[in-house]
Amino acid sequence: MTKKILCIEDDEVMINLISRKLSQEGYEVHIARDGVEGLEMIKTVKPDLILLDIVMPRMDGMEVMEKINEDEEMKKIPIVIISNSGQPVEIKRIKELGAKDWLIKTEFDPKEVIEKVVKHIK
Amino acid sequence: MIKFNLQFKLLISVVFIVLFSLFCFGYLSIRNQKTLAEDLFLDSAIALLQTLDAGITNRADLEDVEKLQTKVHKIIWLNPNITNITISLPIDEELIIVASSNVTKIGLPASLEEVSSYRTGELFTKILSAQDESQLLKVVTPVHVSGQKVGVYGLTLSLDTLERNVKNISFQFSVGILLTTIFIVVVLSIVIRTAVISPVKKLQEGIEIIGSGNLDHIISIHKNDEMGDLSIGFNNMTEKLKDRTEALAREKSSLEGKIKKRTSELESIRFEESEEMKKTSGALLNMLEDTDNAKEQTEKERDKTLAIITNFTDGLMVFNNQDELSLINAEAEKIFNIEAKNVINQSLGDLKNESSFNLLAKIIGRSWNSIFREELNIREDLVLEVSVINILGEKEEGGHLVILHNITREKRIEKMKTEFVSIAAHQLRTPLSAIKWTLRMFLDGDLGKVSKEQKGFLEKTYQSNERMISLINDLLNVSRIEEGRYVYRLDTVDIAKMTQILINAQKVNAEKRGIQLEYDMPKKKSPKIKVDEEKIGLAIQNLIDNAIRYTPKGGKVSVFLKNKKEGLEISVKDSGIGIPEDQQKRIFTKFFRATNAMKIDTEGSGLGLFIVKNIIDAHKGKVSFKSEKNKGTIFSIVLPKEK
């Protein structure tokens, strides 16, 4: 069965690149452009893994994780954060909120994203 | 006056003594004389009566009254002193006067004295006062015939003669006393004059003469008594006085000579010195003025210092070496909402009880030495940065200065800045990431086939993009360093483990460049030290990165840790191009790049070592290097151990 990955990301270029890469790898990719949309899609799509950006309009990644933590079912879905800044404060918060792993966009390339996805997806 | 007084007193005393003793003696003698005369009188009266009695030998003689009367008259005639004489005989149980010189009394009863003498048979004497106040002596004695008492004789004698005699004697005696007294006084006055008064007078005159200055005068009292001794003593004294006076005079003249000499010397010296003195006093005045100025200056400085402390915008507290609060400025009072007078001189322990102080006292109380810019949230709207500085006196530790820097505003700005950095990073990094990821996918052939030539261009673009990313990262770090808030989180970190992770991350890069990367993870547990993990990681990473970057293919980079006395040493050694000697001094300067490094790699920002230096400095560590051109470089970081 094809694994479903929900990518919550607002940058169009990134969405295109990631979805393309993941599709090539054989995953079913769903896209949400902000946190609000992302949360709704988690419920409808029920993904096997979430790729989550932090800085987004309407609802940022942190808030999304807070909401996920409130729901027992959603909490089970592994989350990999795709972050821009990688500041220590941010990393600390990400860990606290239960993200499995994180990627700093400027330091990782698409190949490594796939590696992380493979590592954490059930 | 003295002379008269002495003589007068002596004479008066003597006269009184003589008069008193003579009067006593005279009085007693006269009394004695009187008694003696009275006794004689009585004896003569008794003798008269016996004569009368001798004429009466039998009773018949008594019965012849006329004969008796004749006898009585005869006795009276012979003795003018006898005023009356009676003979009384008992007739019919009653004693009747039978014969009397006073004829009128014959035939009358006898007096009481005669009756009692007749009855007792004893001699009776009594002194009577006559009507003309002359004294009379009455003698009564019994008449015996053949040893039997037959009657009584009565005899009355006038004592006038006796009195007269006594008076005569007393008068003669008084005259004698007076004459004797006058004689004694005259003799005594002469004796006193010669023995006492004249020597005393001489002595007095002598004293006056000697007193007026004539010490050669000799008092001549040639006497073998106390006065003589006194004059000798006095003369001796005068002689000694004379000697002394002479000696004194000699001394005085010699002293005068000396004084004159000295005065002239002094005058000359004074003359010489006056100029010098003027100069000296001038200098002294200048010095005093300088001292005053200095004092004023010091006071000004002190006031200034106090003013600075009091008005300092940071809260300042000074604890002395007994941990007692010795100074607190207005800002600190405001921060803790306390008054200086309530807390000054209190020890740190006592201050813990002050609610507002509690938090601060807790962190200060831990250890004076370990506080380095600790943040303290006193209230929601008040964040302090607490620094403790040891005040070092010249000899001993002078206490601690606690600086309370209100960083509430900075905290707010910092938060804003963090947000800004985050946004800026997002804004800059997002496109850079997009470029990176796109190029990567092109290079990996994910976006269709790419020709070899195209791949070459894409590869170079990718590298440029990477450089831009790293430049942005460096710039962000530098801006944070320059804000002075680079080291935030001090945690106990296992450096050996951390280094291993860094080495692992660099392995691929090293392999790609054909460089051997070595790391000897120490078997012993390296000491735990408190550092900002991320920053120290960045510093070590920068050193490893540089080593790999500036070492030619086939070279070797080795990393090793050493536990040293002063701390933990992390060294990165390479066999690279080295740093030219003339540029070694500038190696930690911002944006500086060595000439040989620039030739090899044009990408470097010149920020790496600047960041390393700042990170290590912020940790109170040391970074040093040894380098030889074309042979290699070894960089060493020493991080101080936790005390």
B interface with A, Cβ–Cβ < 8 A, is: 418, 421-423, 425-426, 429-434, 436-438, 440-441, 444, 446-447, 469, 472-473, 488-489, 534
Option in B418, B425, B430 nearest A11 (CB): B430
Query: How would you list the strands of the sheet with B382-392, edge to edge?
Result: B325-328, B315-319, B397-406, B382-392, B374-379
Taking contacts as CB-CB distances below 8 angstroms, the residues of chain B near A111 are: 440, 444
Structure tokens at B238: 């005068």
Judge: B422–A14 Cβ closer than 8 Å, yes or no: no
Judge: B429–A20 Cβ closer than 8 Å, yes or no: no
B95's CB contacts (< 8 A; 6+ apart) are B88, B89, B109, B110, B114, B115, B118, B151, B152
Structure tokens at B353: 């009880």
Which residue of chain A has the CA closest to B431? A13
Query: Residues B397, B401, B403, CA angle at the centre, nearest 5°?
Result: 160
pLDDT of residue B572: 92
Across the A:B interface, residue pairs with CB atoms under 8 Å apart total 67
Structure tokens at B307: 């003013």
* Alpha carbon distance B269, B263 (integer Å): 10
**Cα B26 → chain centroid:** 81
Query: What interhelical angle do B408-443 and B452-482 show, nearest 10?
Result: 170
pLDDT of residue A8: 92
Q: Are strands B148-158 and B135-145 parallel, antiparallel or unpaired?
A: antiparallel
pLDDT of residue B573: 92
* Alpha carbon distance B322, A76 (integer Å): 59
How confident is the model over B151-204, as pLDDT tens digits? 888 888 777 777 777 788 778 878 887 888 888 888 888 887 787 778 788 888
Structure tokens at B39: 């006794």
Interface test with B, best of A24, A56, A62, A105 (most B CBs within 10 A): A105
Nearest CA-CA partner of B637 in B545, B551, B552, B543 = B543
Which residue of chain B has the CA closest to A88? B534
A90's CB contacts (< 8 A; 6+ apart) are A54, A83, B422
ipTM value for the complex: 0.72
Which residue of chain A has the CA closest to B440? A109
How confident is the model over B296-305, as pLDDT tens digits? 888 888 888 8
E runs forming strands in B92-160: 94-100, 124-129, 135-145, 148-158
Residues of chain B with pLDDT under 50: 1-3
Rg (alpha carbons) of chain B, rounded to whole number: 77
* Alpha carbon distance B555, B550 (integer Å): 10
Judge: A14–B437 Cβ closer than 8 Å, yes or no: yes
**A14 to chain B, closest Cα gap in Å:** 6
Which residue of chain A has the CA closest to B462? A109
Judge: B473–A24 Cβ closer than 8 Å, yes or no: no
Which residue of chain A has the CA closest to B477? A87
Q: Is A26 on the interface with B (CB under 8 A)?
A: no
Taking contacts as CB-CB distances below 8 angstroms, the residues of chain A near B421 are: 85, 87
Q: How far is CA B40 from CA A97, B47, B202, in A?
A: 170, 10, 61
pLDDT of residue B634: 92
Query: Residues B105, B110, B111, CA angle at the centre, nearest 5°?
Result: 105
Q: What is the DSSP letter of B585?
A: G
pLDDT of residue B1: 43
Query: How would you list the strands of the sheet with B124-129, edge to edge?
Result: B94-100, B82-91, B148-158, B135-145, B124-129
pTM for the full predicted model? 0.39
Taking contacts as CB-CB distances below 8 angstroms, the residues of chain A near B431 are: 13
Q: What is the dihedral of CA A11, A12, A15, A18, to 10 degrees?
A: -90
Look at residue A84 and tell me whether its pLDDT is greater than 80.
Answer: no
Alpha helices (H) in B64-211, listed in sequence order: 65-78, 112-120, 160-192, 198-211
Judge: A109–B436 Cβ closer than 8 Å, yes or no: yes
- DSSP-assigned letters across all residues of B431-498: HHHHHHHHHHHHHTTTTS---HHHHHHHHHHHHHHHHHHHHHHHHHHHHHHHTT------EEE-HHHH
pLDDT of residue B2: 47
